[in-house]
Amino acid sequence: MGTTENSSNLLAKLGIAVPIIQAPMAGWATPALAAAVSDAGALGSVGLGGMTAENARALIRETRLLTERPFNVNVFCHVRPPADLARDARWLTYLKPHFERFQAQPPTALGAGYSSFVDDDAMLTLLLEERGPYTNSPNGEPSRHPRDFNADYDCSAIQTRQG
């Protein structure tokens, strides 16, 4: 099968006319932008990384109100690093002068940052309930989610690796 034929099959599978997938930048890729991209024949995207399941549900539903075309949702699937209080203390000591320079109060502890889909059963439930057509993960593997489930769910999972 040639490259052109493979590309045509992928476009048909995704339900798009042009081979463009909008970057699903969490916090910046709005439902309006995703809908406009999808309506133009590409695959619009919304980023759900760092959101609660309730906020993600609202974003998906808002996007659905704006377009009948397929769109992509993106989740973070990173594995959380183990806690290392000594390392965190060294970072806080190193960063303290930078906070002081801007008259800002440094944190007393470092947090884990964004939540991960791997640890978020509510987000998995949301995606299964909302039946979003496409999900991608720029970091990590959605298959690492510990919940064992068997769902009648028709979607394409697009995974990329960094490095």
Judge contact between 100 and 124, C-beta under 8 A. no
Judge contact between 84 and 72, C-beta under 8 A. no
Predicted confidence band at 71 (pLDDT cuts at 50, 70, 90)?
very high
* 153, part of any domain: yes
Total domains in the fold of the chain: 2
* 13, part of any domain: no
* 1, part of any domain: no
Domain identity same for 23 and 101: no
Judge contact between 118 and 144, C-beta under 8 A. yes
DSSP reduced 3-state for 136: strand
Mean pLDDT of the chain: 81
Domain identity same for 73 and 90: no
**Interval 39-59: pLDDT, tens:** 999 999 999 888 899 999 999
Judge contact between 72 and 59, C-beta under 8 A. no
Average pLDDT estimate for 24-34: 90
**Interval 109-159: pLDDT, tens:** 887 777 777 788 888 888 888 876 665 555 555 555 545 444 555 555 555
Question: What pTM was estimated for this model as a whole?
Answer: 0.71
Task: Measure the CA–CA gap between 31 and 22, rounded to whole angstroms.
Answer: 12
Residue 104 pLDDT > 80, yes or no?
yes
Tell me which residue range forms the domain holding 99. 82-113
Domain identity same for 90 and 121: no
* 5, part of any domain: no
What pLDDT score was predicted for residue 1?
45
Domain identity same for 49 and 105: no
What pLDDT score was predicted for residue 163?
52
Q: What token pair was written down for 132?
A: 């979003």
